[in-house]
Amino acid sequence: MANDREEFNLCGPSHLTTVDWGNEDHQRCVAACLVQGIYIVERDRQLKREGAEALASPWWESFNFKLIRHLKDDADFSIFGGIYEYKPQQPDSVDAGVPRYVIAFRGTLTKADSITRDIELDIHIIRNGLHRTSRFEIAMQAVKSMAESVGASSFWLTGHSLGAAMALLAGKTMAKSGVYIKSLLFNPPFVSPPIERIANEKVRHGIRFAGSLITAGLALSRTIKQAQQPQPQQQQLQIRNLSEDPLEALSSWLPNIHVNPGDHLCSEYIGFFEHRGKMEQIGYGAGIVERMAMQHSLGGLLMDAMGVSNAVEVEEPVHVIPSANLIVNQTNSEDYKEAHGIHQWWRDDQDLASHIYMYK
């Protein structure tokens, strides 16, 4: 049985009768609806809704898209993503700015047929091991293939929650090789205690400052320790130079990251970018400390220091992005479910504020 939020006619963006592809608000609404389409197509599969009973297609057909391929998980065979192709009503008239293709990924579905696998992947995000999962390999293969066949400027990446983490990691992977894909990411998880929820600003800054010092110190200690150990010639090349900045290659990529302060899974992005600016202002090398801290997972470094090998990765976590257009929904949310939901991002009554953070 369908709920109201699955039916486009009941909860879709009724205000968006005509899409202006140069309007960022319209782009956001369409991308969020395409992600919702992936959620609903998987629910259609689970509930065996077919033909006239299926509810998914209006979520993309309303904007002249066609779902040309399902991306299926090889473990539970659930549909976790899809590739859309834009099909204009008049083939000879395509608006500037419209993507030819969009690759979208859904988030966690708390239903019996998919929850076990989805939560397993959520845990991989916490352990910084999403890149080692077969689902991500399937997603990454689709993104690479699309970039090679049509070019990075011809398609978008989008996703919500777990799906936003998938899109973010795929976008980062491509950006490291100089391929920049437009990405609209909704409520991507930021693996950190929800420091942003602390009311006192000085306390928040103090906690983040201490965390940066500890992380940078452990990272420096680990790098020095590696450099002092006898290494085969091949492995010596893999030891990171202290002066290297692996985030520099990512600095030109500017994903659109959408967060809600009431969602503790993604709200730390707000403090993450603000804190980085404050560290730069402090001077006395604080900016260098923050750059080093950004490149590592504190949990991974602690495990490594205690001798727990292969527990978690020690490279930069998925959520670490040097540059971003951060869009914050400042509208009060009734509860966590509303603050985390994809539905907020296609509504036209939300108080949104955006800020571009560029890595220097």
| Per-residue pLDDT tens digits for 14-32 | 999 999 999 999 999 999 9
What percent of the chain clears pLDDT 90, i.e. is strictly above it? 60
Q: Residues 160, 162, 164, 167: is their CA dihedral positive or negative?
A: negative
Residue 349 CB coordination number (10 Å): 7
Is position 52 within any domain?
A: yes
Residue that is written with structure tokens 């395409």 in the block: 34
Is position 118 within any domain?
A: yes
Lowest mean pLDDT among 70-84, 88-102, 222-236, 269-283: 222-236
Is position 251 within any domain?
A: no
Is position 30 within any domain?
A: yes
Is position 35 within any domain?
A: yes
| pLDDT at residue number 120 | 94
Q: Using CA atoms, how far apart are residues 327 and 25, in angstroms rounded to an integer?
A: 11
* Model confidence at 1: pLDDT above 70: no
Is position 270 within any domain?
A: no
Is position 57 within any domain?
A: yes
What percent of the chain clears pLDDT 70, i.e. is strictly above it? 72
Strand spans (E) along the chain: 65-72, 79-86, 101-105, 155-160, 182-186, 256-259, 324-329, 352-357
- Boundaries of domain holding 111: 4-194+317-357
Residue 236 — very low, low, confident or very high, per pLDDT cuts 50/70/90? Answer: very low
pLDDT: is 96 or 143 the higher one? 143
Q: How many domains does the chain fold into? A: 1
Average pLDDT, the chain: 82
Contacts of 99 (CB under 8 A, 6+ apart): 86, 154, 155, 156, 182
Residue 51 CB coordination number (10 Å): 5
Is position 17 within any domain?
A: yes
pLDDT: is 272 or 173 the higher one? 173
Q: Residues 305, 310, 314, 317: is their CA dihedral positive or negative?
A: negative
| Per-residue pLDDT tens digits for 148-177 | 999 999 999 999 999 999 999 999 999 999
Most confident of 222-236, 281-295, 319-333: 319-333
Considering the entire predicted model, what is its pTM?
A: 0.82
